[in-house]
Amino acid sequence: MPSYIIEKPLDPWQAISEHQEKMQLDTQFGATATFVGTMRDFNDNSDVSAMTLEHYPAMTQHYLDKLIAEASEKWDLLDVLIIHRVGDILPSQAIMLIACWSAHRKASLDACSWLIEELKHRAPFWKKETRPDGDRWVAENTDGF
Amino acid sequence: MPSYIIEKPLDPWQAISEHQEKMQLDTQFGATATFVGTMRDFNDNSDVSAMTLEHYPAMTQHYLDKLIAEASEKWDLLDVLIIHRVGDILPSQAIMLIACWSAHRKASLDACSWLIEELKHRAPFWKKETRPDGDRWVAENTDGF
Amino acid sequence: MTIQVKFFASLKEQLQLADTEIEHAQTVEDVWNTVTDKADRPDNIIVAVNLEYAQFDSPVNTGDEVAFFPPVTGG
Amino acid sequence: MTIQVKFFASLKEQLQLADTEIEHAQTVEDVWNTVTDKADRPDNIIVAVNLEYAQFDSPVNTGDEVAFFPPVTGG
C-alpha cells in the first residue's frame, strides 16, 4: 500500500493501471474507487496560469503512510495507492491520485472519500498560484464545494 | 455525458483516460471520482469461474442515461461516463465503470457513490455465476459490505 | 396493436415462458394472469411498463411493453 | 545536540527567516520566541514536533525537529 511524492508530470490512469497490474490480488478485488485532483486554470474567480506545490518532505511522506495505515484499520482494503506531485504544475495536469481496492464496494468508496479529506487537512503541502496580479499562496483548503 | 453497454472486455483506466482526452474541459475540472467493479473468483464463500450478465437492452440504456441526468441535476458535474459490460465475463475482468468530473471534489465523489448505488438497485442487469456445483443466478445485490 | 410481454433472468427460467404478446389487458396483473395462466407470483418480482418501473395494478394499453423480472443484480 | 527549526510556505516568506537550529528550549513556544525574537504569532499557525502535529505548549528536547507552517493546502 505505497505512497509516492513525485516531481514529474503524472498520468493518473496509467499509474493506477500499472499498479493494478502488479497486484497479486487481481481476482480478489471487486471494487476500485479512485479520486484524482487536477489543476484548473481558475480558482476563486481568478485565472491561474501555473502552481508550485511546496511540501515538508519527511513529514509529508510520514503522513501519507499514516493515512494509509489508518484507512486500512478502518476498512477492509486489499490495496491503496497515493501519488502526490510537488514542484511546478500546469493547468490540466494531475496533482494527486488516491486509489483504493477492496472486495466489496463500500470499503473502497468510503476509504477513498475519507483519504482525500484527511490528506487535504493533514498532509503538509502548500499551493502557491501564479495569477495575473502575481503569485499568491492559497490560504486555506475549501470544504470541497 | 455518455453511457455505453458493451460485450467486449473493458480496460477501465484506458477508457477513462481516452474519454478525458476528448473532453474540451480539461482545464476546468479539478476533481475526478471513479468507481470500477471487477469480477472476483469467489462470492458468498464459493468459487466462481465465470459469469454471464443478462440485461434488458432498451430499459438498461434508458436507465443509465436517466441516472446520469438525475446526477447532473443533483450535482455540478462537468462530465460523467458509465460503461457496463454484458455477456460472458471472467474473473479479474472489469464489469463496469463510473467516472465523474467536477470543478470541486465533493460533487464528483458524492455523484460517483450515488450513481453506483442507484445503478445497483435500478438498472436492469442480472448476474449468473458459474460455480463448481453449477450455474446460479445471483439473487440480490448486497449493501456493498 | 398488441401488448408485448417479456421475461428476464431467473424468472424467465422458472416460468419457462418465452417472450410473447397478448391482445387485451387492463392492468399489469391481467397481463401476468394471461401469460402465466394465473401462476403464483414470486414475492420479489419486479415489473416495468414501457421501460419504467410499475406496479401490478398499473394500467396497460395496447402498444405497451410489459416486462417481468427478478431483483436487479448489476454493477 | 541541538533543536532543528524549520519554516514553510507563506509563513517562511512572511517571517523572512531561514531554517535554523537553537541550543535550548523547554516548549514549542520557547522555540518560537527564540527564533523569531518574540514575533506575534499568526492566528492559524501550525506546529509539528518530530513530524507530528503539536501545540505551542508541547515540550521540546534537544535532538527534536520543530516546524512552523500555515494551514495545509494540498490534495
Instruction: Tell me the per-residue pLDDT of C27-44, one tens digit each, with 9 for 90 and over.
Output: 999 999 999 999 999 889
Q: Any CB–CB contact under 8 A between B30 and chain A?
A: yes
Interchain contact, A126 vs D48, CB within 8 Å = no
What separation in angstroms does the CA of A122 have from each of A55, A82, C3, D47? 12, 14, 61, 12
- CB contact set of D6 (below 8 Å; sequence gap of 6+): A56, D19, D65, D66, D67, D68
Q: Which residue among A37, A58, A126 sits closest to D72, beta carbon to beta carbon?
A: A126
Domain D3-69: give its CATH superfamily. Beta-grasp domain (3.10.20.30)
Which residue, A102, A91, A94, A86, is CA-closest to A36?
A: A94
| Residue A91 touches chain D, beta carbons under 8 Å | no
Is C75's CB within 8 Å of B123's CB? yes
Over residues D10-20, mean pLDDT = 91
Q: Show Cβ contacts of residue B27 under 8 Å, excluding neighbours closer than 6 positions.
A: A39, A40, A41, A42, A91, A92
How far apart are alpha carbons A1 and A99 in whole angstroms?
10
| Chain A residues whose beta carbon lies within 8 Å of the beta carbon of residue D13 | 137
Res D32 pLDDT > 70: yes
Nearest-CA distance C9 → chain B (Å): 6
Confidence class for position B44, pLDDT limits 50, 70, 90: confident
Assess whether pLDDT exceeds 70 at residue C53. Answer: yes
How far the first Cα of chain B sits from its last, in Å, is 29
Residue B144 has pLDDT above 80, yes or no: no
For residue A67, the one-letter residue type is L
pLDDT above 90: residue B30: yes
Cβ neighbours of residue C7 closer than 8 Å, sequence gap 6 or more: C15, C17, C18, C19, C67, C68, C69
What is residue B7's predicted lDDT score, i.e. its pLDDT?
Answer: 96
* Best of B35, B138, B143 to mutate (most C CBs within 10 Å, chain C): B138
The predicted pLDDT at position B143 comes to: 67
State whether D72 and A84 contact (CB < 8 Å).
no
Percent of chain B residues topping a pLDDT of 70? 97
Residues of A with Cβ-Cβ distance to B105 under 8 angstroms: 35, 37, 116, 144
Residue bearing cell 470499503: A107
pLDDT at C26 (0 to 100):
96
Answer yes or no: do C75 and B120 touch at CB < 8 A: yes
- Nearest Cα of chain A lies from the Cα of D67 at a distance, in angstroms, of 9
A3-134 folds as: Aldehyde Oxidoreductase; domain 3 (3.90.1170)
Contact status, residue A59 vs residue D48, Cβ threshold 8 Å: yes
Q: How confident is the model at residue B46 (pLDDT cuts 50, 70, 90)?
A: confident
Place of cell 490534495: D75
Which of A6-10, A24-28, B78-82, B115-119 bottoms out in mean pLDDT, i.e. has the lowest?
A24-28
Q: What is the pLDDT of residue B27?
A: 81
Which chain A residues contact residue B40 at CB under 8 A? 27-30, 103
Residue predicted with more confidence, B139 or A31: A31
How far apart (Å, rounded) are the C-alpha atoms in residues A62 and A130?
Answer: 29
C8 contacts on B by Cβ (under 8 Å): 54, 56, 124, 126
Q: Is residue A44 over pLDDT 80?
A: no
Q: Are D68 and D19 in contact (CB under 8 A)?
A: no
User: So what's the pLDDT on residue C18?
Assistant: 86
CA distance to A117, B58, B92, B100, D34, per residue, from B118 (Å):
24, 18, 23, 15, 59
Q: Which residue of B has its CA nearest to A16?
A: B13
Q: What is the pLDDT of residue D43?
A: 86
**pLDDT (0 to 100) of residue D1:** 84
How far apart (Å, rounded) are the C-alpha atoms in residues B48 and B131? 5
Residue B47 phi/psi, 5-degree rounding, is -65, 145
Cβ–Cβ < 8 Å for C70, C10: yes
A109 by DSSP, 3-state: which? helix
Encode pLDDT of A95-133 as tens digits.
999 999 999 999 999 999 999 999 999 999 999 999 888
Query: In terms of Cα–Cα distance, which of A116, A135, A117 is closest to A127?
Result: A135
Q: Please tell me if residue A54 touches chain D, with a CB cutoff of 8 Å.
A: yes
Query: Is the pLDDT reported for residue B24 higher than 80?
Result: no
Chains C and B make contact, 3+ CB pairs within 8 Å: yes
Contacts of C43 (CB under 8 A, 6+ apart): none
Residue of D nearest to A142 (CA): D73
> What is the amino acid identity at position C67?
A
What's the mean pLDDT when you consider all of chain A? 93
Q: Please state, in angstroms and rounded to a whole number, the distance separating the CA atoms of residues B79 and B63.
A: 17
A6-14 average pLDDT score: 97
Which of B121, B122, B126 lies nearest to residue C8, judging by beta carbons? B126
Mean pLDDT of chain C: 94
AA identity, residue C14: Q
- DSSP, residue by residue, D7-73: E-HHHHHHHT---EEES--SBHHHHHHHHHTSPPPPTT-EEEETTEEE-TTSB--TT-EEEEE----
D21 or C18, which is more confident? D21
Q: Position of cell 480496460?
A: B11
Distance from CA of A27 to the nearest CA of B (A): 5
